[in-house]
């Protein structure tokens, strides 16, 4: 376990007292490469608190605590509604037609506590949109990327979500932003063919995978951040 490397990362990320999506991805990669035992997890937790204590000398305590809460979602994810650690919840696959994919998406939004990054081709299912808005009202920080050709379709909820105050960007190239994934609290990834539409739930043969693999989450987080930075 490279403790010195973790210490350097934490000190660097604490400078602005915020944990960005990119920084969460870097921490997720570090965990995947370095943490394999409970002892190592304990050491990582101790280093995090030590870095926070040192920063309190020059920083507002409340801001430092927020940083700790964000970082712990990557190093030691919060428990899920079922009481299991989010990272230890088994990876699962869900299929449609039927409500399995829809229910898992809504469940993840209901249990989100800090952040959700959404990158989906289209959002027209009001049941999912309501779960997004509910998370927003609870104070969860959300970002949405979608495709411009679908954002203005009849039934699209993109503009209503933007109007509610959720940061939303659209791909305006001649091609499609065709991803369908979302990252919850830096600890769970939903990804698959499933568009967030009623047709996907009621008619199409689609799939959603729910994963806590930290390396995979880091890869998807970097992709989200790269797209987000390119769009207006």
Q: What is the pLDDT of residues 59-112, one digit of tens each?
A: 567 677 667 766 766 666 544 443 344 445 789 999 999 999 999 999 999 989
71 and 94 housed in the same domain: no
Is 24 within a domain? yes
103 and 171 housed in the same domain: yes
* Measured CA distances, 68 to 7, 15, 30, 127, 221 (Å): 14, 13, 16, 33, 19
Tell me the residue range of the domain where 10 lies. 3-75
211 and 117 housed in the same domain: yes
139 and 211 housed in the same domain: yes
70 and 101 housed in the same domain: no
In this prediction, residue 86 carries a pLDDT of 45
Is 82 within a domain? no
Q: Are strands 141-147 and 115-120 parallel, antiparallel or unpaired?
A: parallel
Determine the Cα–Cα distance for residues 101 and 125; give it in Å rounded to an integer.
12
Is 81 within a domain? no
Total number of domains in the chain: 2
Q: Which residues pair with 129 in a beta bridge?
A: none
What percent of the chain stands above pLDDT 70?
83
Active site residues: 178, 180, 185
Name the pTM for this structure: 0.65
């Amino acid at each position: 376990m490279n403790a010195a490397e973790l210490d350097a990362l934490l000190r660097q990320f604490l400078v602005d007292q915020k944990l960005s999506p990119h920084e969460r991805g870097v921490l997720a990669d570090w965990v995947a490469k370095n943490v394999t035992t409970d002892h190592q997890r304990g050491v990582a937790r101790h280093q995090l608190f030590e870095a926070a204590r040192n920063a309190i000398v020059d920083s507002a305590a409340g801001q430092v605590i927020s940083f700790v809460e964000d970082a712990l979602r990557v190093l030691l994810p919060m428990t899920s509604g079922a009481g299991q650690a989010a990272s230890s919840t088994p990876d699962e696959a869900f299929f449609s037609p039927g409500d399995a994919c829809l229910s898992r998406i809504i469940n993840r939004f209901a249990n989100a506590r800090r952040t959700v990054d959404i990158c989906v081709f289209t959002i027209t299912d009001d049941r999912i949109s309501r779960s997004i808005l509910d998370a927003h009202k609870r104070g969860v920080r959300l970002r949405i990327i979608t495709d411009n050709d679908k954002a203005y379709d009849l039934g699209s909820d993109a503009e209503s979500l933007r109007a509610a105050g959720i940061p939303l960007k659209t791909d305006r190239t001649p091609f499609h932003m065709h991803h369908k994934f979302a990252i919850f609290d830096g600890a769970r990834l939903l990804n698959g063919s499933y568009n967030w539409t009623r047709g996907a739930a009621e008619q199409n043969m689609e799939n959603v995978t729910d994963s806590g693999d930290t390396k995979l989450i880091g890869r998807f987080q970097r992709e989200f951040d790269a797209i987000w930075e390119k769009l207006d």
